[in-house]
């Protein structure tokens, strides 16, 4: 889902940097860095960055500018929180960019679309579920893990498609017929993998999932 250089004019890339830099400063200030003082959390955060860097560096190409790869935003957001998740994905994107899987000129645009939209949708689903749905373990795993992961991939795919179509880089017809169906297939795979990982961590290593609390979910049963 990472965009290569050369698809857009310089004005759009500069505008993206104008948004990315202030958001990054806010993220660096608000991220719960003390949470990483726990050796388990920082090893988990860094380990997930390494794994995602490998996955993002080997995208499946549909057409130039329409690569697909596992996102990982939901698992990272559930384990470390939204701000650390986005910062982590920015590091992942930097590694993918140096490996040639994304464009240097559009790094900020990729960070906002792939990382930002993915994390924002994941965090939004989790917060809505916590506010509107019963505090039950099944709800957390299925909605915040499985469903949020699928939605994050779909949200990123739709955002990328809208940008490509509105700028004339690709046609709406091609995106609707070729790219978005592939995004839906990836969304199901992402949901299955993310849901499985979160389930295993909640069962065997609940302390790794910072947004999950045994006392909160089992007290309401």
Identify the helix (H) or strand (E) that includes residue 15.
helix 10-30
Domain span at residue 159 reads 10-219
| Structure token pair of residue 191 | 């949901």
Residue 4 placed within a domain: no
Residue 97 placed within a domain: yes
pLDDT digits (tens, 9 = 90+) for 110-163: 999 999 999 999 999 999 999 999 888 899 999 999 999 999 999 999 999 999
Looking up residue 65, the CATH number of its domain turns out to be 1.10.1760.20
- Residue 18 class from Cβ within 10 Å (0-12 exposed, 13-18 middle, 19+ buried)? exposed
Mean pLDDT (the chain, rounded): 90
Residue 5 placed within a domain: no
In this model, does residue 220 exceed pLDDT 60?
no
pLDDT digits (tens, 9 = 90+) for 71-96: 999 999 999 999 999 999 999 999 99
Residue 36 placed within a domain: yes
**What does each C-alpha distance from 126 to 45, 108, 143, 165, 186 come to in angstroms?**
19, 26, 7, 30, 21
Residue 78 placed within a domain: yes
pTM for this predicted structure: 0.92
Residue 2 placed within a domain: no
Residue 209 placed within a domain: yes
Report the domain count for the chain.
Answer: 1
């Amino acid at each position: 889902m990472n965009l290569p250089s050369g698809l857009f004019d310089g004005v759009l890339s500069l505008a993206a940097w104008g948004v990315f830099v202030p958001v990054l400063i806010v993220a660096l200030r608000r991220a719960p860095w003390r949470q990483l003082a726990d050796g388990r959390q920082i090893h988990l955060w860094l380990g997930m960055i390494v794994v995602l860097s490998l996955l993002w560096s080997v995208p499946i190409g549909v057409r130039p500018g329409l690569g697909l790869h596992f996102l990982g935003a939901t698992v990272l957001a559930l384990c470390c929180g939204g701000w650390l998740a986005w910062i982590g994905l920015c590091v992942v994107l930097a590694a993918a960019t140096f490996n040639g899987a994304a464009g240097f000129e559009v790094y900020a645009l990729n960070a906002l679309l792939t990382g930002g939209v993915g994390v924002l949708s994941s965090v939004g689903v989790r917060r809505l579920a916590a506010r509107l749905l019963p505090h039950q373990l099944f709800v957390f795993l299925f909605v915040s893990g499985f469903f949020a992961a699928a939605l994050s991939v779909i949200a990123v795919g739709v955002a990328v498609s809208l940008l490509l179509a509105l700028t004339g880089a690709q046609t709406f017809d091609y995106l609707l017929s070729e790219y978005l169906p592939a995004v839906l297939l990836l969304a199901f795979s992402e949901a299955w993998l993310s849901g499985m990982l979160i389930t295993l961590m909640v069962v065997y290593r609940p302390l790794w999932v910072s947004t999950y609390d045994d006392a909160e979910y089992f007290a309401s049963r």
